[in-house]
Chains A and B, each alone.
Chain A
C-alpha cells in the first residue's frame, strides 16, 4: 500500500462455533451489545436497508446501508462515520464480513476499506476490530467476554 492507493485492513479470526450462530452474533442487537462495548446496531437487515451503530447514551456512532446480505456467508455494509466531523467528512467506507465453515470452526474475515489514501476513519476503525473480534470469539466459545 503506497500513499496514492486505497486504505484497507483485513482481520481474520477462527471461532469454534457454527456459521448460523456466528451470523446471529453479527446481526442480533442483544448479542452485539455484549461484545461491542455496550453499543448496538439497529437495522432491518435486508439489502438497501439502513443500519446504525448506537452509543449507550443513544447518540449515533456510525451508520450506513446494507449492500449485500447473504446469511450465513456474506454481509457487506456501506459504513460512514457520524460522531467525528473530521472522519465524517471522509465519506463512505465499505466493510465486508465473510464466514467460511471449516471443520469444527468458522473462519471470519472482516475487510474494511476505502478508496481514500491514509484514511483516518479506517485507521480508527481498524484499532477497534481486533478487540471486538477477540470479544466475539471469547463470547461464542466460552460465554464470557475478555475485555469490557
Chain B
C-alpha cells in the first residue's frame, strides 16, 4: 500500500482520531495514560497506536522504561502543503490587492 493510502486509512477512524486529539492536547503519553478515561480496551488502543505508528502519525520514544507516544505532524503537513497552502496564498494575494485598492496611492 502507498504511504498516502496508509495515512488516510489511519485517519479514517474516529477512535484513532480521538487518540491523535489526546496527543495533541498532551504530547508524550504512555499507553496507560492514553487508555485512561477511554471507552476502549487496552488491546484496542494498542492496535490503533500500531496503525498510527505505521502511518507515521505517531512517533514512539523510550524514556527509561516508559514508552512515550508523540503526535508526529509531518505527514499532516504534507497534506496541507499538497492541497491547501496554494489556496491560502491566493487568499493572501486577494487581501493584499483589496488593501492596495482601498488605500489607493497613499505612501505611508
How many interface residues does A have (CB within 8 Å)?
19
- The reply to whether B27 and A130 contact each other, CB–CB distance below 8 Å, is no
Could you jot down 13 A-B contacts, CB within 8 Å? Answer: A1-B27, A10-B28, A11-B59, A11-B72, A12-B56, A13-B56, A14-B56, A111-B61, A131-B81, A134-B74, A134-B81, A137-B78, A146-B82
**A55–B70 alpha-carbon span in the complex (Å):** 30
Q: B residues within 8 Å of A by Cβ?
A: 3, 26-29, 56, 59, 61, 70, 72-74, 76-78, 81-82, 85
Which residues of chain A in 1-60 are interfacial with respect to chain B, using CB atoms and an 8 Å cutoff? 1-2, 8-14
- Residues of A contacting B59 in the complex (Cβ-Cβ under 8 angstroms): 10-12, 109
Q: A residues within 8 Å of B by Cβ?
A: 1-2, 8-14, 109, 111, 129-131, 133-134, 137, 146-147
In the complex, which of the residues A14, A109, A130, A137 contacts B73, with contact meaning CB atoms closer than 8 Å? A130
**A1–B82 alpha-carbon span in the complex (Å):** 31
